[in-house]
Amino acid sequence: MEAVVTGKRMEVLLDEPTIQQRVQALGQEITADYQDKELVLITVLKGSVVFAADLVRSIELPLTMEFMGLSSYGDDTKSTGVVRVTLDLSKPIEGKHVLIVEDIVDTGLTMQYLLRNMATRNPASVGVCTLLHKPARQKVDVPLDYVGFTIDDHFVVGYGLDYQQRYRNLRMIGHMVDG
């Protein structure tokens, strides 16, 4: 699939079967790790929604879903680490096993904020599952329990990830190249 964005071309980084296979495997790992635990999946809006929708269907455990709205101040492609909560959890997570579902860990600043925020609510445990990890740009160390794919330093879109709110509905993950 190719789409033209202001003089740029989209190049496929991860195609649909590759993503689906990996998400299935992550679901199986999570299923094995959380046996007999009360699992609460916390999906970070908006980028992680597509990933979470597929992931939950590959987890064979009773679970509940919660959503956290976070918006980081910054320009289009860089986060500043200053995070604003736009939607909070609807239920307390005290004593629950929490798994945060993120689309991408880039600088790690958003995840650091989220982990600190969750810790104040006394969950039994907090795990992190991110579809993508971009270690080249990471500024702070955050524990990542499940990583779908480690990628090079590209700004990627698709499968939930956006550029100026667009491209979230692509089935693949791609990046913009000049041309």
Chain residues binding ligand IMP by CB under 6 A are 47, 72, 79, 102-111, 155-157, 161
Contact 38, 97 (CB under 8 A): yes
27 binds, options ligand IMP, Mg ion, none, Cβ within 5 to 8 A by partner type: none
* Catalytic (active site) residue 141: no
How near is the Cβ of 23 to ligand IMP at its closest, in Å? 17
Which residue carries 């329990």 as its tokens? 145
Measured from each CB, the residue nearest to Mg ion is 47
Cβ atoms within 10 Å, residue 84: 10
The dihedrals phi and psi of 56, each to the nearest 5 degrees, come to: -60, -35
3-state secondary structure 95-153: CCEEEEEEEEECCCHHHHHHHHHHHCCCCCEEEEEEEEECHHHCCCCCCCCEEEEECCC
How near is the Cβ of 113 to ligand IMP at its closest, in Å? 8
Task: Give the count of alpha carbons within 13 A of 90, CB side only.
Answer: 7
Closest to Mg ion by CB, 34 vs 70, is 70
66 binds, options Mg ion, ligand IMP, none, Cβ within 5 to 8 A by partner type: none
How near is the Cβ of 94 to ligand IMP at its closest, in Å? 25
33, 88, 106, 153: the active-site residue: 106
* Nearest-5° Cα angle at 56, 70 to 45: 10
Q: Does 108 sit near Mg ion (CB under 5 A)?
A: no
Q: Does 158 sit near Mg ion (CB under 5 A)?
A: no
How near is the Cβ of 31 to ligand IMP at its closest, in Å? 25
Q: Is 168 exposed, middle or buried (0-12, 13-18, 19+ CB in 10 A)?
A: middle
Closest to Mg ion by CB, 34 vs 108, is 108
The dihedrals phi and psi of 16, each to the nearest 5 degrees, come to: -55, -50
Residue list 2-61, contact with Mg ion (CB under 5 A): 47
Site residues (vs Mg ion, CB under 5 A): 47, 103
Active site residues: 106
